[in-house]
Structure 1
């Protein structure tokens, strides 16, 4: 059996797609791989429930990942990077030690888990990048990401905007790495390889969890391959009164900051008053919580397992996270998206551009009512149906198996 370590932080948007990949790999090639997860203590029960062993990082500070995630938005990207950089060396050395002790043969690394990258590189192990936001990889052409949700240009000026945006993104990254040179210099001497590619992504194998049909036109790295999207969800039985209402809308906003969440909550309260024939099911996104409250046409629950219930809703109001975006495509559900930070604006731009939902840029009762009414009146979503064809054609287990076999053989030849 080939010994593989999947490395991901214990955050649902990063860990659950990796768990899905690992399960699909086991299903496609049973008995061929010995898979272990390296993650955080906070998701031990989920990982072990899926049948995998795990090593919990940072035993002296087991919930550091969750703490950093809660700080998201309260501090700038630079401050968050500084906080995390203080632990990168410690995490890297720990991962190196546990990989060496097990004699791991290949690493599958979540795209933001840089200590896993550094450990694999220093141990000269073959490693694969897994990324659910492929547009995060810098592009040599096309529309750049992380600039507020830009869409493809329609003019020469627009192409100039894109070129300037690509340069800006690169300069910001270079500035950040320069500022962190004392912490990262040992592990990341340069952000870019000689060929111009980013050293934090595998030079030989990148698994893009998503669909090429949802991406803007650009040149992709030659080692990148789309594998579709999936996520392992904890199953929970809920009593949702779908039959009592004419329409049912799922509202899921990920891990929004308290102030942003409160604003959305107030809007849903007002929407519910104006749309008494509609049930709003508000998911808190925490499977371990026990919140369950219904009054009139609003049902608040701690967590809605998408794989169990998404098919029963008419539409979804969400924040633009990679998981819910791709799962709405899989289930053919048009979405109303209210992005809050980072890549969410870029997903919102794609939802609007490809006409699989509506980006509400200034969320208010009137604009949300108009978006809901538009979705109700639109009987068909051709682009959504076209993307569903791509979903059905994907075989994630086969794709990851073939990539692993190629990379493992490459490693054996070194």
Structure 2
């Protein structure tokens, strides 16, 4: 019986005041206090309060910086004030009214498949909080088209989002950047793929690093620099030599339009160790080197760090040599003459013969041996290089 009386009394009071729970009413600020605004409902003779949390989402804000006596605005009637009614009959909210209006617009955007703009206000476990007029949640798995482990750099950014789920009655709003990023990337890839070709050297910025390489942003589209293409030196981890946001120059190795993938190389924009070591060498130069390995058809001599050339068996001596091991041993220091340098295939042809221009027959044989070596893609293999060493072990 008591409950019925309370309900009846509430209805009577509502009729008398003309203010109902859930109404949107115009209010005037009467007093600005530290934790709340005391307001009066326009043309109703009813007063109430707006707690700070119902006026702004910024907990550090000072209400006196945001409102002053005499300000007019709309507010949502949340509930009747309980207990002490010194501050009025009702509790009002501005933030919830704004959220209600925002949800109405967001619902229209969702149905029209429109993107929305919002500011990322915080990072929580599993994702980001976004202010799009109402508070939305951006799961970490939907931030981008790749896994994002560090969420903090996104806080404070204003970005575009797609709405994937909305339920105004539950204040539920799920956002996604992944779909938006994917659509943008597809359009950007089509644009970029029309401008670059394998062999081109372009500027880029390191987007993010993985264990197997670095993704480089070419202007809305990322390409992969595999770890083996970062440097001519051995790289244990891409992060040892690269960092996010670093500007880099890359060479385009492949553009796969079907799978929307671009293969890039950083090291191929720089001179190779072979090119560096042979940049000052020309045919006819005489240099010292070390015999690194012996095969049945010749000796490999290192003339610079990591750079070896072949002395064909016919170029070891003016005298007939049956096999190189008859006259040479591994680690021998020898003097060699450069016959030719093939930069494309990174091969050097050498000779240990005395340089006797009168020996026409010998020169003709040397030229033929050199041509055979340079023209044959199978001139030597790793097995050839170390074969004799294996036999001796």
Q: Which has the higher helix share?
A: 1
Q: TM-score with structure 1 length normalisation?
A: 0.20
The structure with the largest alpha-carbon Rg is 2
Whose strand proportion is higher, 1 or 2? Answer: 2
